[in-house]
Structure 1
Amino acid sequence: MLRPLVAGDADALVEAINDFEVSRWLTHVPYPYTPSDADEFIHAIGPQMGALWAIDHGDTFCGVISIGKELGYWLAKSAWGKGFITEVGDAVVDAWFGNPDAADLKSSHFVENTRSAHALQKLGFVDIGGHVHHSIAQNADVPGRKMHLTRDRWQDRRRFRIETDRLILRELHPEDWRDLQPIGGHPRVAPMMMSCLSPWPEADVKAWIARARFRGRPGFTLAACTRDGKMIGAVGLGGKPLSTLWMIDPRESGQGYATEAVGAFFDACFALFDLGEVVSDHFVDNPASARVHEKIGFERIGGGMGRSRARLEPAPITRYRLTRSLRDAKK
């Protein structure tokens, strides 16, 4: 969650940033970092610093992100490796480019800060050359890399369209919730999905779509539509381990739409991303999904128990894996 940084955050700010493993990667932060440093920073927040927010996870302060002349951020060490910068960075970058007059974005990282390099790459930034910044915490000039994100690249990373003989797979948009709600919330669909309810509340559907937006990397869901634009389902990819989901309107069942959509989806994803292995599962009482898994090329790897928000109790599932070679063997 993003919120304004306030005076009451001073103690948490000191606790998080008064760690050399954090401050060494920042240019203007001293080490040790004192309460007076925190007070001075909080009271200096103004338009010249751009927009700046505290990053919270639940009730815990995790770090800071800002955007103005550059995109800047840092996280407490306890928050590393959890995808927080990718999540909040997407929101901040989207808000920035939501202003049609906003300029291209700059950022930077020290060469040895591979975590920050990876986070910026996931946000769409590209390396445009080297530079040297002075690190107050290290009391040294440190080599770094300059990063750049153009509006055109940002827009391109929000577009994903696949066409088949009968279908168009496209990005989900906020206004799609009305068409998606009766599909995911159908009493024959929701119990086969992990996160849907029947009925599926409007707020849940909108939040689901917001999480499913395409941002140029795995972790998205596409709308499956007929050639005349009618939404008949969705197919997606994301999570750790990397897994897939799909749903088809029961009123359109029996026409091969799931196999057509999922097959085209994975052909495109294997071409675009370095996926390695994708896992999947279905509830044992969903034989239609079993047939689709087999047609796509998924390899059965075992069973287990799974949960759905639309089921009262865990239920048996069958687990699968898919690689590029397994998919190619079915084409």
Structure 2
Amino acid sequence: MLQDFRTPTLREACPRVLETERLLLRSPTLADVKAIARLANDRRIAENTRRLPHPYSPDHAVDFVRTMADEHRDIAFLIENNFVPIGMIGICWREPELAELGYWLGIDYWGQGFATEAARAVIDYFFDEFDFELLYAGARVANPASRSVLEKCGFRWSGVELHRFEALGSSTPVDSFRLSRGVWSSLKNWANSTKRPR
């Protein structure tokens, strides 16, 4: 999936489950394979997600879950709403010092604010658990909904890059974004709408 880059060490106390007002974010397991494959096997998702192949089979989901469990290079959360899987979100390291937020939702869950809610929780987790000053993200130029999610989370546009999309079999323009720790810190009041007391 990624080259063999070092992933920063997680703090001992880091949670592998995040909760928001409507969502539970947890590590995916092999029990989730059918749900992940069913959700991800839509060309509209694959065309906006760099590394998702299309068609997306249960074997792809098995490989993904095993890679996340075995290699510990990236962080992935299955997003659940009312205990029903609705998508994935996580952080990958393209380089040792370059962490990038990525996410996708099943088509039936678009336009309901779930991506923004999940992204805010993972952004909080990232800046709380890692000593990085910047978090990066990208949205295909033809995907204004994803761009809107990033802007709502405080990301600032930083340019356009070409990235290869597996499902397209070619490169396409991507709006690049970055979020600084300082901007995140000033926006932390969103915690009232993303973190639910236990």
What range is the shorter-chain TM-score in?
A: 0.7 to 0.9
Paired residues for 1:1-331 under 5 Å: 1-45=24-68, 46-49=71-74, 51-68=75-92, 69-99=99-129, 101-158=131-188, 210-211=192-193
Query: Which structure has the higher relative contact order (CA within 8 Å, separation 6+)?
Result: 2
Query: In the aligned structure 1, how far is the partner of 2:160 from the partner of 2:58?
Result: 34
- Cα distance in 1, alignment partners of residues 111 and 52 from structure 2: 22
CA distance in 2, matches of 1:102, 1:133: 24
Please say if residues 117 and 194 of structure 2, whose CA atoms lie closer than 8 Å, have aligned partners that are also in contact: no
Work out the CA distance in 2 between the residues paired with 1:35 and 1:96. 29
Report the Cα distance in structure 1 between the residues aligned to 2:42 and 2:194, rounded to whole angstroms: 35
Shift, 1:210, TM fit: 3.1
State the AA in 2 paired with 1:9.
Answer: D
Deviation string 1:239-260 (CA, Å, 9 cap, x unpaired) is xxxxxxxxxxxxxxxxxxxxxx
Measure, in 2, the Cα distance between the counterparts of 1:44 and 1:144: 26
**Partners in 2 of 1:132 and 1:31 — Cα distance?**
20
Q: Secondary structure at the match of 1:28?
A: coil
Structure 1 counterpart of 2:59, one-letter code: S
TM-score (norm. length: structure 1): 0.47
CA drift at 1:102: 2.6
Amino acid at match of 1:109: A
Supply the AA of the counterpart residue of 1:44. Answer: T
CA distance in 2, matches of 1:17, 1:212: 25
Opposite residue 41 of structure 2, the aligned amino acid is N
Instruction: Extract unaligned runs of 5+ from structure 2.
Output: 1-23, 93-98
Tell me what 2:7 maps to: none
| Cα separation, 2, equivalents of 1:109 and 1:28 | 13
Distance 1:137 1:98, change over 3 A: same
| Distance in 2 separating the partners of 1:4 and 1:64 | 10
In the alignment, what sits opposite 2:9? none
Q: Give the distance between the partners of 1:156 and 1:59, measured in 2 at CA.
A: 32
Contact 2:121 2:194 in 1 (8 A): no
How far residue 85 of structure 1 moved from its aligned partner, in angstroms, is 1.3
Structure 1: how far apart are the matches of 2:38 and 2:80?
A: 14
* Shift, 1:100, TM fit: 6.4
Q: Deviations over 1:168-199 (max 9, x none)?
A: xxx69xxxxxxxxxxxxxxxxxxxxxxxxxxx
Which residue of structure 2 aligns with residue 240 of structure 1? Answer: none
Amino acid at match of 1:61: P
Which runs of structure 1 show a deviation greater than 3 angstroms over 4 or more consecutive aligned residues? none
| Cα distance, 1:212 vs structure 2 | 8.0
Q: Supply the AA of the counterpart residue of 2:82.
A: G
Instruction: Give, in whole Å, the separation in 2 of the partners of 1:26 and 1:212.
Output: 24
- Letter of the aligned partner of 1:67 in structure 2? I
**2:63 & 2:174 partners in 1: Cα distance?**
27
Q: Distance in 1 between matches of 2:176 and 2:62?
A: 30
> In percent, how many aligned pairs have the same letter?
29
Q: Distance in 2 between matches of 1:138 and 1:54?
A: 24
Cα distance, 1:98–1:11 mapped onto 2, change above 3 Å? same
Supply the AA of the counterpart residue of 2:67.
Answer: A
Cα deviation for residue 88 of structure 1 reads 1.4
Amino acid aligned to 1:95: Y
- State the AA in 2 paired with 1:70: E
Relative to structure 1, the CA distance from residue 88 to residue 212 in structure 2 (aligned partners, 3 Å threshold; closer, same or farther) is closer
Q: Rg bigger for which structure?
A: 1
TM-score by length of structure 2 reads 0.78
**CA deviation after TM superposition for structure 1 residue 211, in Å:** 2.5
